[in-house]
Structure 1
Amino acid sequence: MISAAIVVVVLATLLIGARGVVAIRSTSDFLVASRRISPTLNAAAVSGEYLSAASFLGVAGLVVKDGIGALWYPVGFTAGYIAMLALVAAPMRRTGALTVPDFAEARLGSSGLRKLSAVVVLVIATLYLVPQFKAAGLVLTVAGGTPYWVGVVVAGAAVSITLALGGMRAATYVQAFQFGLKMLLFIVPAIWLVLTVSETTRSEALSPVEFTRFERRTPVEFRLDTELTITEPTAVTVAGGQPAVLAPGHYTALAGSEWVFEKGADVPSVAGGFAPGGDGWGRPLLDAGSGYPVLTTWSVLVATVLGTMGLPHIIVRFHTSPDGRGARRTASITVVLLSAFYLFPAVYGLLGTVLLPELFLSGGTDTVVVELPARVDSGWAGTFFTALLTAGAFAAFLATSLGLLLALSGAVSHDLLPGTTVRRLRFTTLLAAAIVVALALPAVHLDVGVLVTSAFAVAASTFCPLLVLGIWWPRLTARGAVVGIVVGLGSSAGVIAIDLFIGAPPGLAALLLGQPALWSVPLAFLTMVLVSLRGRPPAWANAAMLRLHLDETERSAHRE
């Protein structure tokens, strides 16, 4: 049943996307669907594109892993569109640009800035695409028992073929359809879960008890290398060996290994985390082991709110609107649609805290959504709703990947290489998908949440300052933009890479390196402003300001 659900989603993606094939005659058709998408359809497509694996699976998983404070993520995701509505949507549409690098060159007259911006697009798109494909592989593995690589390859093939055939128009139809599908397949199982679990479980979900003892013999398959601290003699079977009693002390569970804990065994503590249901877990702030929950929460909000404004696959969506007014309406409707969706991740997260708390140990909390139905009902109903949620999760991977792959292909074919053609765009789409699939295959043990948060932090530290200052400050210079982007990219992606591959000491350093948006975004803004003040803005800066902020109808009347 689960495999059939995935097949239906993939076939629907390809068939709906085929509607865009006949309309592809130019690069404008391929990249921005000839700027003829209505606000309602566009908002549905934006929402479908935005509700990625991080939204469909990740938020609920973060509630189990990090506690109630994880609900700040959807707050930031949705608030980002309010900021975009106020600051970016309409002016960006009025530029007539096809991509963010296009806007950079049109506004500041620098081909070097355009190429640098294209490189930033590649960084953001790759950081965001790899976890989408990885999540597709993991979900099929958990729900359907298929090898990890199958989900990665299927997702890559479906996305690249759809885009290569129909470009942005195909992506729009598919993403709008998949938004409706995701809403249906996310909300209906949530209601079923709430009605099916016992009244005791519902009460425990609202006031979880700290996870300190295993209530049943529980296998835990560790996705990441995990440091465990055992505080009392604990009966464990490690990696299929003989049962043994581990003495109190520190142990390392290697990624890919399975530990089976006996009923009544003490739950080990995990470095840098709170046990589900504990005091730290119930605090409405984010910590992530840094010891600075308020600063961590603010840093996540800065990354998600301002990062949304800088995501290249979201920005390009507003170029598909007929005019600036259509772009504003698109952003307004999107806020409403996202607000409705984000009411439900808490349901899965709270139920998962009670029914699947062991996922906290394994590093596999991002699969809690698709594992809950089988835990609640081991019969046909559990299988049926698992299939629905798996199909919805796969639709989330595909919808987001469509936009990201389109942004990546546009950056390569339209911004880095001269002489863009539709044929080159199609070939680049297929090649880019193959490269991302190759990167996702060995990424099975990487933390999806870290990569997605990194993409938001990079977008907030690079494109957000470029767009806000480029739209609202006439003194911005090309040199200021270049230096600011370089500083923002280095202070976000650079320090995150250090934290990911080398590691950071605990405490404040962990926060500054793992969640840098709180300081990297102000640093990028300040750099752009100070460097620009030492130079001279382009001669056409004031004219550019008028074009960005004067309504299209007023400009037409003025010309007449």
Structure 2
Amino acid sequence: MNATAGFAALAAVAAATALIGFYGLRISRTTSDFYVASRTVKPWLNASAIGGEYLSAASFLGIAGLVMVSGLDALWFPIGYTAGYLMLLLFVAAPLRRSGAYTIPDFAQARLDSTAARSVTSVLVVVVGWFYIVPQLHGAALTIRTTTGLPAWVGSVAVVAVVVLTVATGGMRSITFVQAFQYWLKLTALGVPAIFLVLQVSGPGAPVPSAEAAAMVWGGSGGSPYRTLSLLAALLFGTLGLPHVLVRFYTNPDGSAARRTTLIVLGLLGLFYIFPTILGVLGRLFLPELVAAGGADAVVLLLPGRLVGGTAGELLSALVIAGAFAAFLSTTSGLVVSLAGVISQDLLGGSVRGFRWAAVLSAVVPLAVALGTQSLGLAGSVGLVFAFTASTVCPMLVLGIWWRGLTDAGAIAGMVAGGTLCGGAILLGPRLHAGDPGYELLSQPAAWTVPVAFAVMVLVSRATAHRQGAGTARFMTRLHVPERPLSPGKPR
């Protein structure tokens, strides 16, 4: 792969991100602009921005890599990632917008009337965000090393530098425009090469895969039903608690707009996931050696050069590189915005200046972790983050929205129990090998940690019913009664 094409693609994406971010800076004037874009983002723009931040390194590089390694079994990942938004539509989107909160900890405090519940939620949101940023930086390192030959750390540092500059200067208003652009760039960067490569391998003189590769193209890896069930539980429930996803719904004008946004997102995600699946199948046919070498996550980057070559291959490779870099930037930007909002509100007074310093802190800590650790499979590592948030933040949100009986003690106990059990499983699982006692339970823990978290919240809440806040009934009414139509030009 020509390093010049890689450099040009990376520079173009960084420049476009900075220019769009500068446009957002020009119209970011108030504190509300920085935190929630003054709650005036329309559904199509917001849906594109959500697609931009949600489709991370795991989606852009990791899904194709998983399809290479696992065949049909890997399709549960895009199904789960997309179906999680159906859960969000049904249970969270509109009520959360009606809550009037800026952040998830704001919601926890307002719903439970408890600063302790807010503090626990804040810690968990920050932990989830940092865990999620690290795979993005690993993906950037992989892309830089594969496409330019530069040291891997350059990719991680470059992503953090661009993200901090964009977020700190323009906040949510600026990032909304950036992420919307990056969704459509990512879709183009996978869609065009996928279609081109399918035509290439279907035409006269097309390369012929080995008989062995052709025979096993859709074969599964023989994963157990438990692992599939647990993975789906992590992805479905984990989406409901991702801080960078939920904060976007605070930017909608009202609950109805939040629902329309979610419906559009379902369509955008379904369209996107067609293409990494196609590229994974092509990689399984024509680059099977990557699996043995442990480099399956790089298949999207290497396929155009292998199957096309020449100038056309270089141009397709540059487009893919641009999309990959956009994936790292957009997801990291969304996470840094959500974390900066929480840290600023809780520790730095909630000012614009505090938001900017919080943005720096939110990005620098996971950068240090990424530079000091080795990359795992991108989709697999992000799946564990989903399991953790499904076991902690998600139960608090779902029960807080739909069950009047939730108390602060119940919410804290459930989040601590779910976080301790799931976090312990994530740490212990890699130390075991297939066939060891407990390997299945620890390597995919969501199937048991999510029910435990819900059960602990319910049982402790029933035992502490006297702690229910005086304003619970009023707040629950606010969550579930539709807003009155607003006059034009009067955002809520």
- TM-score relative to the length of structure 1: 0.82
Matched, 1:171 2:108: no
Offset at 1:448? 2.6
Matched, 1:441 2:371: yes
Matched, 1:149 2:86: no
Offset at 1:329? 0.6
2:141–2:154 CA contact under 8 A, matched in 1: yes
| Residue type of the alignment partner of 2:354 | R
- 1:33 corresponds in structure 2 to 37
Over the aligned positions, Cα root-mean-square deviation in angstroms equals 2.1
1:202–1:351 CA contact under 8 A, matched in 2: no
Matched, 1:84 2:88: yes
CA distance in 2, matches of 1:168, 1:277: 49
**How many residue pairs are counted as aligned between the two chains?**
481
The CA deviation string for residues 263-286 of structure 1, in whole angstroms up to 9 with x for no partner, is xxxxxxxxxxxxx9649x713x76
| Residue type of the alignment partner of 1:150 | V
CA distance in 2, matches of 1:36, 1:429: 22
CA distance in 2, matches of 1:383, 1:348: 17
1:68–1:282 CA contact under 8 A, matched in 2: yes
2:45–2:180 CA contact under 8 A, matched in 1: yes
Matched, 1:490 2:427: no
Q: Which has the higher helix share?
A: 2
| Residue type of the alignment partner of 1:346 | T
- 1:521 corresponds in structure 2 to 450
CA distance in 2, matches of 1:110, 1:504: 43
- 2:490 corresponds in structure 1 to none
Q: In the superposition, relative to structure 1, how do residues 189 and 505 fare at CA in structure 2: closer, same or farther (>3 Å)?
A: closer
Equivalent of residue 282 in structure 1, options 184, 203, 219: 219
Secondary structure of 2:391's aligned partner? helix
Offset at 1:69? 0.9
Instruction: Extract unaligned runs of 5+ from structure 1.
Output: 212-275, 288-292
Offset at 1:28? 2.3
Offset at 1:554? 8.1
CA distance in 1, matches of 2:327, 2:11: 15
Instruction: Extract unaligned runs of 5+ from structure 2.
Output: 488-492
CA distance in 1, matches of 2:410, 2:208: 54
Matched, 1:457 2:382: no
Matched, 1:326 2:254: no
1:303–1:456 CA contact under 8 A, matched in 2: yes
CA distance in 2, matches of 1:82, 1:70: 20
CA distance in 2, matches of 1:418, 1:197: 56
CA distance in 2, matches of 1:300, 1:204: 35
| Residue type of the alignment partner of 1:400 | T
Equivalent of residue 106 in structure 1, options 110, 114, 121: 110
| Residue type of the alignment partner of 2:226 | L
The CA deviation string for residues 339-379 of structure 1, in whole angstroms up to 9 with x for no partner, is 11111112111110111111111221111001001111231
Matching of residues 544-555 of structure 1 within 5 Å: 544-553=475-484
- 1:94 corresponds in structure 2 to 98
1:64–1:349 CA contact under 8 A, matched in 2: yes
Matched, 1:472 2:476: no
Matching of residues 380-399 of structure 1 within 5 Å: 380-399=311-330
Q: In the superposition, relative to structure 1, how do residues 487 and 201 fare at CA in structure 2: closer, same or farther (>3 Å)?
A: farther
Q: In the superposition, relative to structure 1, how do residues 444 and 387 fare at CA in structure 2: closer, same or farther (>3 Å)?
A: farther
Q: In the superposition, relative to structure 1, how do residues 446 and 476 fare at CA in structure 2: closer, same or farther (>3 Å)?
A: same
CA distance in 2, matches of 1:505, 1:144: 36
The CA deviation string for residues 8-43 of structure 1, in whole angstroms up to 9 with x for no partner, is 100100110112223434432211111010011000
| Residue type of the alignment partner of 1:304 | L
CA distance in 1, matches of 2:207, 2:409: 58
- 1:124 corresponds in structure 2 to 128
CA distance in 2, matches of 1:553, 1:495: 46
Offset at 1:445? 4.0
1:201–1:354 CA contact under 8 A, matched in 2: no
Secondary structure of 1:310's aligned partner? coil
- 2:341 corresponds in structure 1 to 410
1:194–1:202 CA contact under 8 A, matched in 2: no
Percent identity at matched positions?
A: 48
Offset at 1:451? 2.3
| Residue type of the alignment partner of 2:251 | T
CA distance in 2, matches of 1:445, 1:418: 33
CA distance in 2, matches of 1:374, 1:419: 51
1:52–1:396 CA contact under 8 A, matched in 2: yes
| Residue type of the alignment partner of 1:301 | L
Matched, 1:534 2:471: no
Equivalent of residue 70 in structure 1, options 63, 74, 81: 74
Secondary structure of 2:455's aligned partner? helix
Offset at 1:508? 6.1
Equivalent of residue 289 in structure 2, options 350, 358, 367: 358
The CA deviation string for residues 88-119 of structure 1, in whole angstroms up to 9 with x for no partner, is 00000000001111100000011111111111
Equivalent of residue 46 in structure 1, options 44, 50, 55: 50
Offset at 1:143? 1.5
| Residue type of the alignment partner of 1:520 | T
Secondary structure of 2:404's aligned partner? coil
CA distance in 2, matches of 1:506, 1:175: 43
The CA deviation string for residues 419-468 of structure 1, in whole angstroms up to 9 with x for no partner, is 22111110121233222222211223433333211110011111111111
Matching of residues 120-269 of structure 1 within 5 Å: 120-198=124-202, 209-210=211-212
Secondary structure of 1:359's aligned partner? helix
Q: Which has the higher strand share?
A: 1
Equivalent of residue 356 in structure 2, options 423, 426, 436: 426
1:17–1:173 CA contact under 8 A, matched in 2: yes
